[in-house]
Amino acid sequence: EEQAGQEYFDRVIAEDSRIEPRDWMPEGYRKTLVRQVSQHAHSEIIGMQPEANWITRAPSLKRKAILMAKVQDEAGHGLYLYSAAETLGTPRHVLNQQLLSGKAKYSSIFNYPARTWADMGAIGWLVDGAAIANQVPLCRASYGPYGRAMVRICKEESFHQRQGWEILFELSHGTPAQKQMAQDAVNRFYGPALQMFGPPDDDSPNSRQSMAWNIKRFSNDELRQRFVDMIVPQAEALGLTLPDPDLKWNEERGHYDFGELDWNEFKSVIAGKGPCNVQRMQRRRQAHENGAWVREAAAEYARKEAAAQQT
Ligand code: FAQ
């Protein structure tokens, strides 16, 4: 049976078709997906924090309503992705435990503070922009539930990116102080946003196998390059500068060259030593504990419903 399963799996991957939850799959494939999809879910949930920080201080009622909707979208993405991960056989409380114990990672970007209102613009434009560049190819991931979840998530991320761009556009066409605030936010988020794509290809242990399995469609560096090429003209349209003196068009390659990123900083953030790691985890743990009564009430309600149906 194992052999028949493997043959079926290999054929599906070779045909660039989809694996569904009940299909046989190699243990490594299952493990890789649980890792990537759950870490993606954790990122969405932890990613609510930097922006939630600004809901009470948004500069207008309209901005506040938009920001609240965006943060709620991230919660929805997280829950959606946890459901996709659960179809691989790992229950949600286990995934959650892996996050709270520090065993599972979440995106490095969310360990940076959101200091000013302009950061809401930079996060929307650069962080959601990087998320889209990374996630559009994931709509074609070979695992059905993950690919399908990505379709809707990408649509919502596109709206998020445009709202961020619009915040920055307005600030960069405002007073000199507002423009400076927008530039400062871009200066701080540019490098960390490029690091969202992961380590350089020659230092990315998972890429080769994930690409062979049609989970990842492009390498980390390919997507990073695509993102840089995309944001250079957008920065010009915003009237803002990207903080990289080595950024320049390379006629021969048909791409922008850009400077080396600070990979020591990246490693240190992933190792838990970024500016906000401790705060983010504390807040998550607290929210989990505060939600205990909701989980208990839901379980009790389900138990009563099930009992009522039996009588
Ligand atoms: N941060 O071998 P690779 C969002 C880890 S978007 C932390 O290259 P892989 C939307 C990696 O897990 C953000 N860790 O790994 C939003 C691995 O460690 P492990 C979430 C990182 O998986 C916007 C190790 O380094 N998006 O949330 C990072 O092939 C605004 C070696 O790396 C996704 O998760 C990093 N930046 O490629 C929400 C997208 N990079 O697991 C709120 C789906 C790498 O072996 C507000 N994920 N690591 O212990 C992916 O596409 C891939 O997992 C990559 C990494 C590309 C992130």
Q: What is the residue-wise DSSP string for 198-263? A: -S-GGG-TTHHHHHHTTS-SS-HHHHHHHHHHHHHHHHHHHT---S-TT-EEETTTTEEE-PPP-H
- Residue 73, C-beta contacts closer than 8 angstroms, at least 6 positions apart: 156, 160
Cα(104) to centroid(ligand 1), Å:
11
What's the pLDDT score for residue 274?
98
Structure tokens at 52: 């939630």
Please report the atom of ligand 1 found closest to the CA of residue 104: 49
- Residues 188-245: tens digit of each pLDDT: 999 999 999 999 999 999 999 999 999 999 999 999 999 999 999 999 999 999 999 9
Query: What letter represents residue 303's amino acid?
Result: R
According to the model, what pLDDT value does residue 78 have?
Answer: 98
The DSSP H or E segment spanning 248 is strand 248-250
Residues 6+ positions from 95 with CB-CB distance below 8 Å = 34, 38, 41, 42, 82, 85, 86, 104
For a mutational test of ligand 1's pocket, the pick from 108, 206, 221, 227, i.e. the residue with the most ligand atoms closer than 8 A to its C-beta, is: 206
DSSP-based three-state secondary structure for 143: strand
Any ligand 1 atom below 6 A from CB of 161: no
Return the residue matching tokens 């794509």.
197
pLDDT tens per residue, range 121-146 = 999 999 999 999 999 999 999 999 99
Q: For 76-83, what is the mean pLDDT?
A: 97
Query: Residue written as tokens 């360990």?
Result: 111
* Strand, helix or coil for residue 171: helix
Gap from CA of 249 to ligand 1 centroid (Å): 28
Reported confidence tier of residue 292, pLDDT bands at 50, 70, 90: very high
Band (2; pLDDT cuts 50, 70, 90): confident
Rounded Cα distance between 27 and 248, Å, is: 44
| Nearby residues of 96 by Cβ (< 8 Å), 6 or more positions away | 288
Q: Is a pLDDT exceeding 90 seen at residue 154?
A: yes
**Nearest-CA residue for atom 48 of ligand 1:** 198
pLDDT digits (tens, 9 = 90+) for 25-69: 999 999 999 999 999 999 999 999 999 999 999 999 999 999 999
Query: Average pLDDT of 264-287?
Result: 98
- Ligand 1 site, residue 129, Cβ cutoff 6 A: no
Interval between CA 267 and ligand 1 midpoint (Å): 13
Q: Compute the average pLDDT of residues 275-294.
A: 97
The percentage of the chain sitting over the pLDDT mark of 70, rounded to a whole number, equals 100
User: CA-to-CA distance for 249 and 251, rounded, in angstroms?
Assistant: 6
pLDDT reading at 311 higher than 90: no
Q: Which of 270, 273, 277, 284 to mutate to test the pocket of ligand 1 (most atoms within 8 A of CB)?
A: 270
* Ligand 1 centre distance from Cα of residue 33 (Å): 12
245 in ligand 1 pocket by Cβ < 6 Å?
A: no
**pTM greater than 0.90 (yes/no):** yes
Ligand 1 test: best mutation among 106, 196, 207, 213, most atoms within 8 Å of CB?
196
